[in-house]
Amino acid sequence: MQSAIHFAAVALALLALAPARPAAAADTVDPLADARAFQNYFTGKFPNVKLEDFVNGPYSMNADMRRQWQEIEQFPPYEFALEAGKEMFTKPFKNGKTYADCFPNQGIGIRQNYPTFDEQEGKVITLELALNRCREANGETPLSYVKDDMAALTAYMAYTSRGKPFDIKIPDDPRAIAAYQNGKRYFYTRRGQLNFSCASCHVQAPGERIRAEVLAPALGILNAMPIYRSEWSGMGTVSRRFITCNSQTRGVPLNAQDDEYRDLEFYLSYLSNGLPISGPGARP
C-alpha cells in the first residue's frame, strides 16, 4: 500500500506543478473556423495533394501504394459485401416494411448527411445507429455494429452517395456544439499505455510509417468507410476501426456506439465537409 500512496503523492505533486490553463468563462467554439484551419493544415503540409484526394488515405500519401490500389479497384475486394448489402437493403422485413421507409429519399444517396444531430434526443445519430433503430422499430434483431451485415448495408448506402461531398450539419443548439467539442477533445486526447491520441498518428505523422503501415491523414479519413481491410480479410465499419485503434494503443476500447465514438465521428465528418464520399473503400 505504501508504494501506491507514495506514487499518488508524486502524481498529485506533478499535477500541481503542471501549468494551469486560465479557466475560460466560455471558450467560444467555432466549428467552421476549425474546419478551415484543419483543411489548411493538411493542404499546407501536402501541397501536391488535391483536396478531394485526401479521402484516399494512405494512397494519397504514397505513389506505389496508390498504383497497387488503382489496380485493386478494378476488381475491388468489397464487391461481394456491396452486392450483399444491396440485396439486404431491398429485402423487406418480416412485417413487409423496408429500410427505405426509415430514411429520407428512400435511403438512397444520403450517407453524406451522417452523422446527424438529433435535436429531440439531444445526441449524435450515426448511420449504423439509425439502421439498427430501423430494424428494431420493425421487429428485427439489431446487427453487430462492427462488421458483416452492418458493413454490407453501409457499403451499399455509401456507394449510392459516392462522389457526394460530406454535408454534416451542426444545428444552433448548445448540445450539438458540446457533442462536436467532445469529439474534438477525444481526437486530441492521449490514451492507452502507448500514450497516443488520434492526432499523434493522423495529424502529426500522416504519410509516415508505423511498423509496416503508411498512416492516413485525418482529413477525409471517414469518407471511404466502410472499408474492406486486407488485415481483417473482411469489411469493417467506423466503429470497428475506432475499437481496434484503441486496442492498438493499449487502451481498453469503448462500446461501438458510445457517446465518445459517435461524437468523434461527428467531429471528424464535419471537418471533412466538402470532400467526396469515396466508400466503400479498400485498405491494406
Catalytic center residues: 245
User: Quick check: 3 binds another protein (CB under 8 A)?
Assistant: yes
86 phi/psi in degrees, rounded to 5:
-65, -40
Residue 209's φ and ψ, nearest 5 degrees, are -105, 145
**By CB under 8 A, which span of 55-63, 104-112, 138-146, 247-255 interacts with another protein?**
247-255
Least Å distance, CB 18 to another protein, is 7
Please say whether the dihedral angle defined by the alpha carbons of residues 72, 75, 80 and 83, taken in this order, is positive or negative.
positive
**DSSP 8-state assignment for residue 97:** -
178: amino acid identity, one letter? A
Instruction: Give the interface size with another protein as a residue count (CB under 8 A).
Output: 54
Q: What is the distance between the alpha carbons of residues 6 and 134, in angstroms, rounded to a whole number?
A: 53
Interface with another protein includes 18 (CB under 8 A)?
A: yes
Closest CA to 283 of 56, 44, 115: 56
Which residues in 204-233 contact another protein (CB under 8 A)? 204-205, 208, 210-211, 230, 233
The piece of 48-56, 88-96, 108-116, 190-198 that touches another protein (CB under 8 A) is 190-198
Q: Is 20 in the site for another protein (CB under 8 A)?
A: yes
| Separation CA 145–CA 256 (nearest Å) | 6
Q: What are phi and psi of 125, to 5 degrees?
A: -115, 120
Of 127 and 146, nearer to another protein (C-beta) is: 146
Residue whose cell numbers read 492521449 = 190
Toward another protein, which CB reaches closer, 51 or 199?
A: 199
| Closer residue to another protein in complex, CB, 1/63 | 1
For residues 267 and 14, give the distance between their C-alpha atoms in angstroms, rounded to a whole number. 32
250 backbone φψ class: left, alpha, beta (φ>0; ψ -120 to 50): left
Options 62, 138, 160, 200; binder of another protein; rule CB under 8 A: 200
**Which lies closer to another protein via its Cβ, residue 160 or residue 248?**
248
Residue type at position 180: Y
72 binds another protein (CB under 8 A): yes
- The 10 Å CB-count burial string (b at 16+, else e) for 197-217 is bbebbbbeebeeeeeeebbbb
* Site stretch for another protein (CB under 8 A), options 17-25, 46-54, 97-105, 151-159: 17-25
Cβ proximity to another protein: between 91 and 211 the closer is: 211
Q: Interface residues with another protein (CB under 8 A)?
A: 1, 3-4, 6-8, 10-11, 14-15, 18, 20-21, 34, 37-38, 41, 71-72, 74-75, 77, 79-80, 83, 184-185, 188-193, 195-197, 199-201, 203-205, 208, 210-211, 230, 233-234, 247, 250-252, 254, 260
